[in-house]
Amino acid sequence: MTQVAQFDEPWAIAFLPGTPLALITERKGKLKLWQEGGEVREVDGVPPVAYRGQGGLGDIVLAPDFDTSGTVYLSWAEEGRDDTRGAAVGMAKLALEGRPRLEALKVIWRQDPKVSGAGHYSHRLAFSPDGKYLFVASGERQKFTPAQGMGSNLGKIVRLLPDGTPAPANPFAAKGGVAAQVWTLGHRNILGLKFDAQGRLWDLEHGPRGGDELNLVKPGQNYGWPVVSDGDHYDGRKIPRHATRPDFTAPAISWNPVIAPGDFIFYRGDAFPAWHGQAVIAAMQPSAIVRVAIDGEKAREVARYAMDRRIREIAEREDGSVWLLEDGEESGGGHLLQLAPAPKS
């Protein structure tokens, strides 16, 4: 494991294909352009963010046509009226000539409604393998019941067209309004959203006190929060377990005690042959890398590697190398790390 660079509360990374460059978000509201073997530069044109609690600048992904369009998508927490906040998603063109900057930034989606508090934004982004759809994880903002209601997009995964409009034929399109965005419901706080090699979508989400989950995401399914969980409320109140309500979709695997997951990948490279096809998870409590094998629609933990600091983000580069971002809160305390296979003895 090699420390490569330092960042201030980094949250997400996106490597620019065919280049030595990557975009890295910092939660306080800065977007950095990292160059391997070179300098780290700040990218201009980032929107103002609501930096408090779990809020701030969030995810960054490249458009499917990035090679020709230069378009990137990013998410952040934004302020509303009367001490409310909500997640937003925007698209912009990344300009690299001269001083790097985002141009023509346009907000294409918002959590609806904005609410009080500063937690559970989720706002992870993922494009479908065919590039036709943008999936957005929308946390329930620590408000519990909206995850089960169709009057908001809180506690949901939404499926959009790349311009932010609801995708046609979504499961609840006939209901109209915000429900037309919804792909799945009954989610708490999703911090990982990825497609596997088969084109199946999975989410990784925080439970309450116990009950972190990896879920296979199927259209129209209800994942049960806050009615069921494999954890309990922080004040000790019990929550019925998934096994008591087969009408809700149960997780592929859950953790109790928690792993406090950050992001995850489905590893596809050759540098770590034993990891191929598995979910490799960044964990914050306890600090670790957690490796999970997928068995059909179920999953099982197969390895755990202790880390010195909380790991927020994990990413795989084109060459199969694996990179981590530490969740460092002190200035410069979040390192970019590169993993390499241990030398054979």
Q: In angstroms, how far is CA 81 from the centroid of its own chain? A: 26
Helices (H), 33-175: 66-69
- Report phi then psi at 197, rounded to 5: -65, -20
Distance CA 9, CA 120 (A): 17
Query: Rounded to a whole number, what is the distance in angstroms from the first to the last CA of the chain?
Result: 17
Q: Which residue has the tokens 């994942």?
A: 223
As a residue count, the chain comes to 345
Distance CA 81, CA 15 (A): 35
Distance CA 74, CA 66 (A): 14
Q: Which residues pair with 264 in a beta bridge?
A: 281
Distance CA 152, CA 135 (A): 16
State the CB neighbour count (10 A cutoff) for residue 25: 29
Instruction: Answer yes or no: are the C-beta atoms of 311 and 324 closer than 8 Å.
Output: yes
Burial (Cβ within 10 Å: 0-12, 13-18, ≥19) of residue 68: exposed
- Report phi then psi at 273, rounded to 5: -55, -35
Residue 216 tokens, joined: 């296979």
Residue 77 tokens, joined: 């927490």
Instruction: Answer yes or no: are the C-beta atoms of 265 and 279 closer than 8 Å.
Output: yes
**What are the residue numbers of the active site?**
120
Distance CA 287, CA 260 (A): 9
